[in-house]
Amino acid sequence: MNSGSRELVCCLFLAALAACAPRIPYERETSSLPLPEAIYIKAAKSGATVYRIVPEESLVLIHVGRAGKMASLGHDHAVASKDVQGFIELAADPLASHADIVMPLKSLMVDEPQYRARLDLESEPSSDDIASTYSNMRRVLEAELFPWAKVELRFASANTVAPEVIAVITLHGMALETVVPVEMEIDENRLSVVGHLSFGQSDFGLTPFGSAGGLLRVADELQVEFELVAVRLKK
């Protein structure tokens, strides 16, 4: 990569939880892709700098821990998605830059060996354990009612070296507005965004799965790392 054509920008994107919006009224989400795709395509054709996320080159990886007095009998889990979709528009005025990102919960993968290795998880859950974890996860998320995780981003600072980016994450019918540290790199027609964040399942009204009367349960806090790769749309 030519250092002359590379721009490295460190920005705040979600290091600490900010404010949590109230629960929205119950409403079954649509299963169709909840992205304003036409708006971004129109902007690109008008000359705007718009990038489309490449799912197969992107990754969201979640470390799900364990808690309770019997935690030593359980497993930590690696939950991953290779199906992150969305658009990012970088405007001449940084305050006008924004993005819409979605992740279908049905495509989440549980305890794939390569992702457990990446998180340094040494135990080896059985196929029955993995199937049970996947089933319990979907039940906790109520994935049939709320099939998408959604993120809306906007820049809150005109500082192009270290801008603040506000993220509104919607999951399970609740919205959480937060700020996170990321590194963003632009190289010709490609954009990459790398970062990490943590939040509680309870922040979204979720009750972590537990058994044995709560002596063995899933930890509330989730550790999330992400790598997003996007390509610029042509006019």
Nearest to 110 by CA among 228, 214, 209: 209
Assign 95 a pLDDT band (cuts: 50, 70, 90). confident
Residue 152 in any domain: the answer is yes
Assign 22 a pLDDT band (cuts: 50, 70, 90). very low
Assign 164 a pLDDT band (cuts: 50, 70, 90). confident
Residue 28 has pLDDT above 70, yes or no: no
Residue 214 in any domain: the answer is yes
Tell me the per-residue pLDDT of 64-88, one tens digit each, with 9 for 90 and over. 987 655 555 567 899 999 999 999 9
Question: Residue 23: what pLDDT?
Answer: 40
Residue 12 in any domain: the answer is yes
Question: Residue 215: what pLDDT?
Answer: 58
Retrieve residue 196's tokens. 């990490």
Residue 30 in any domain: the answer is no
Question: Residue 4: what pLDDT?
Answer: 43
Residue 188 in any domain: the answer is yes
Assign 187 a pLDDT band (cuts: 50, 70, 90). confident
Residue 186 has pLDDT above 50, yes or no: yes
Tell me the per-residue pLDDT of 200-233, one tens digit each, with 9 for 90 and over. 999 999 888 766 555 567 888 999 999 999 999 9
Alpha-carbon gap, residue 27 to 90, rounded angstroms: 32
Residue 170 in any domain: the answer is yes
Residue 19 has pLDDT above 60, yes or no: no
CATH code, domain carrying 80: 2.40.128.110
Question: Residue 69: what pLDDT?
Answer: 57
Mean pLDDT of 108-115: 96
Q: Which long-range contacts (CB under 8 A, 24 or more apart) does 18-25 make?
A: 18/166, 18/176, 18/177, 18/178, 18/179, 19/177, 20/174, 20/175, 20/176, 20/177, 20/203, 21/168, 21/174, 21/175, 21/176, 21/177, 22/174, 23/173, 23/174, 23/205, 24/173, 24/174, 24/175
Residue 184 in any domain: the answer is yes
Question: Residue 14: what pLDDT?
Answer: 31
Instruction: Output DSSP code: residue 143.
Output: T
Alpha-carbon gap, residue 216 to 67, rounded angstroms: 6
Assign 17 a pLDDT band (cuts: 50, 70, 90). very low
State how many domains the chain has. 1
Question: Residue 231: what pLDDT?
Answer: 98
Question: Residue 49: what pLDDT?
Answer: 96
| Highest averaged pLDDT of the listed ranges 12-16, 36-40, 74-78 | 36-40
Residue 29 in any domain: the answer is no
Question: Residue 111: what pLDDT?
Answer: 95
Question: Residue 67: what pLDDT?
Answer: 61
Q: Which domain holds residue 118?
A: 3-24+36-232
- Partners of 150 in the beta sheet? 102, 170
